[in-house]
A and B are shown apart, each in its own frame.
Chain A
């Protein structure tokens, strides 16, 4: 497929692997922030091509993983109401709260529908004026513009039976939280290309200076990731800490200005709780006062409550790059995609699920087929 296969070419990948291996003089620990990148790394086996000294840690950039369990419980509560059509992106449907997931709610009679865009949810609201239509507005800066547009359109067209359950989170505050952790291991970041396509990368520039870590805005195909790693390692080896853009075919420094404008019009920056991590100040988006009527939490008058997560789950440490999924004793034993203890095992982009799906379960030996990696390109 054009514009895709070029970035999955085995020969070019091998060439980059060799270039990275030649560059490395000491061990480096990098973090890819986005769950989509984690997924691509394990799906294509990008990490298998890297020299031993390079460790990849998987960051908190999976929207499904970091949505607080309380919010999933609220979603399930709303979806059980007879007067509600609850709409959501596909991969939120299987995330378990304490009272089951949205698919179970559907099986129990709730009208739960998968949509591909919040504007589809708005259309459902127009077609079902006797019902309350709620959209589960989760995600990072990537989904925020479309969600903002749905609310903006709802207000403009006076669609009163539409509301959103919001749990938007922002990447840069989470990265700063990781960098300021005592015992942080991350020495360089592959910044999420899709997030930067919306917001640009100026926010990383002060972080790079303050914490002296390189950031490379990186795409999602195997070669993008290899090139992102190459550029990050090069900076580390040369003692630089700058923001570079590997994903220039999609990302501009200032981002997508009309998209940012609609996000600013509809949402305000608020503190947000991250599943497994806790509350991070100024790390999320909430509806502005003038759009408060579209806030499902207010419309259905849901009280705040806190839920204790399984103590066996280390997803918080995985999301902050302190542990690898297989370092968890529950991984693949009591915690599997069928019986997840935490959200990193549920979402296909979650680090634990990605390792479970594409990597050998503990105790199973490695495939006899090995990669023939020459030392010269």
Chain B
């Protein structure tokens, strides 16, 4: 029996809209009585959480756009507002650390709204016993990263939890930016014929973390691509590129980002496998572990959907290449021409990619 039926059989519990949310948790308890790591992987399970718990509970028009941040007017100004939490292990990895991620991640969410990032907050949850030197290194990185991204960290909070109740440092950052143009940048603005631009090679961050976490030694060190994206987006806007949609390709990688957009836009997206750059070392590491770079996380990569006649100019401004196009087909799918020239669909994964046995 699922919980809805259970609730219906209890007298006095209303099933009308707005009924007590806690009494009619719509996730079938028998499926997932506990939160799994996969619920945070950016795949289907995480979307189930959003759709079944968060969206109905917090229901409002801004949230329902399901963008990287909320964009709303206050007086004569359009603002963008976003938040993100960072729980990476290990805290330091080639190409960055939890502090650089915490700043760039939130800056990038604002950039994906087409906003100029202005101010961040920083909330720290520290584990008892954390070396002060470690904390200092993270804070210094945050300061340097914020300066490079042109934002200021203007408010914050610090809590300490018992040893064993945290993983060294957890950071939450929220960010505010200002939207200085009249475009609506959202999946619903995607049009048939749009070109899909990608600003670099994919998979570096995920493989850098995996190599550091699992102690995998490859011939050369893979560095995270962690970087602020606001300058590239603002340059596109300044040049008058008619941006339809932007998406940074974090958890779940390029594949999940495109599937989300195809679903929201109600259009079929077609990409070419051979046009997607993947660094040689990242490909090698993925081959060894049986992972698909399409699903590996990035921290400095995004896709831009622009009209075809803006594509070439946009590519040269953001240092990108065209990886695909939006088809005039209302099937909300991503299809890909494989390396050998056949077609397949690109789906979202349920949870994390797991290395294969053989």
Interface residues of A (CB under 8 A from B): 1, 4-5, 8-10, 13-14, 36, 42-46, 48-49, 63-64, 89-94, 103-104, 106-108, 114, 116, 138-140, 142-143, 194, 222-223, 337-339, 348-349, 356-360, 364-365, 367-371
- Minimum CB–CB distance for A371 against chain B, Å: 6
Residues of B within 8 A of A4 (CB): 283, 287
Is B159 close to A, CB under 8 A?
no
> Per-residue 0/1 for B329-353: is the Cβ within 8 Å of any A Cβ (1 yes, 0 no)?
1010101011111111101011100
| Given known A1-B284, A45-B344, contact A367–B357 (CB-CB < 8 A) | no
Measured between alpha carbons, how far is A37 from B349 in the docked complex, in Å? 20
Measured between alpha carbons, how far is A43 from B293 in the docked complex, in Å? 13
The reply to whether A368 and B329 form a contact with Cβ atoms under 8 Å apart is yes
Measured between alpha carbons, how far is A103 from B38 in the docked complex, in Å? 9
Residues of B within 8 A of A367 (CB): 268, 270, 333, 335, 343, 345
Q: How many B residues touch A, CB cutoff 8 Å? A: 44
- Minimum CB–CB distance for A103 against chain B, Å: 6
The reply to whether B355 and A143 form a contact with Cβ atoms under 8 Å apart is no
List 8 A-B pairs, minimum CB-CB distance, nearest first: A45-B342, A90-B354, A13-B340, A10-B341, A90-B355, A48-B342, A8-B339, A142-B358
Residues of B within 8 A of A116 (CB): 214, 216, 289, 355
Measured between alpha carbons, how far is A370 from B349 in the docked complex, in Å? 25
- Minimum CB–CB distance for A58 against chain B, Å: 16
- Minimum CB–CB distance for A368 against chain B, Å: 6
Which chain B residues (1-53) contact chain A, with CB distance < 8 Å? 31, 34-38, 44-45, 48
The reply to whether A369 and B341 form a contact with Cβ atoms under 8 Å apart is no
Residues of A within 8 A of B347 (CB): 356-358
The reply to whether B333 and A358 form a contact with Cβ atoms under 8 Å apart is no
- Minimum CB–CB distance for A366 against chain B, Å: 8
Is B280 close to A, CB under 8 A?
yes
Measured between alpha carbons, how far is A90 from B42 in the docked complex, in Å? 18
Residues of A within 8 A of B340 (CB): 8-10, 13-14, 44-46, 49, 222-223
Residues of B within 8 A of A194 (CB): 358
Residues of B within 8 A of A42 (CB): 344
Measured between alpha carbons, how far is A43 from B357 in the docked complex, in Å? 18
Residues of A within 8 A of B268 (CB): 367-368
Measured between alpha carbons, how far is A80 from B358 in the docked complex, in Å? 26
Measured between alpha carbons, how far is A139 from B268 in the docked complex, in Å? 38
Residues of A within 8 A of B358 (CB): 36, 63, 139-140, 142-143, 194
The reply to whether B343 and A371 form a contact with Cβ atoms under 8 Å apart is yes
Measured between alpha carbons, how far is A371 from B354 in the docked complex, in Å? 31
The reply to whether B338 and A139 form a contact with Cβ atoms under 8 Å apart is no
The reply to whether B327 and A143 form a contact with Cβ atoms under 8 Å apart is no
Residues of B within 8 A of A92 (CB): 357
- Minimum CB–CB distance for B255 against chain A, Å: 10
The reply to whether A104 and B45 form a contact with Cβ atoms under 8 Å apart is no
The reply to whether B339 and A10 form a contact with Cβ atoms under 8 Å apart is yes
Residues of B within 8 A of A371 (CB): 341-343
* Residue with the highest number of chain B CB atoms closer than 10 Å, among A89, A142, A359: A89
Measured between alpha carbons, how far is A138 from B284 in the docked complex, in Å? 25
* Residue with the highest number of chain B CB atoms closer than 10 Å, among A114, A142, A358: A358
Instruction: Name the residue on A nearest B281 (C-beta).
Output: A1
Which chain B residues (188-237) contact chain A, with CB distance < 8 Å? 214, 216
Measured between alpha carbons, how far is A116 from B211 in the docked complex, in Å? 12
Is B356 close to A, CB under 8 A?
yes
Residues of A within 8 A of B31 (CB): 339
Residues of B within 8 A of A370 (CB): 343
The reply to whether B45 and A13 form a contact with Cβ atoms under 8 Å apart is no
Residues of B within 8 A of A46 (CB): 340, 342
Residues of B within 8 A of A369 (CB): 270, 327, 335, 337, 343
The reply to whether B344 and A43 form a contact with Cβ atoms under 8 Å apart is yes
- Minimum CB–CB distance for B248 against chain A, Å: 24
> Per-residue 0/1 for B83-116: is the Cβ within 8 Å of any A Cβ (1 yes, 0 no)?
0000000000000000000000000000000000
Residues of A within 8 A of B338 (CB): 43-45, 222
Instruction: Name the residue on A nearest B341 (C-beta).
Output: A10
The reply to whether B34 and A104 form a contact with Cβ atoms under 8 Å apart is yes
The reply to whether B287 and A104 form a contact with Cβ atoms under 8 Å apart is no
Measured between alpha carbons, how far is A369 from B325 in the docked complex, in Å? 12
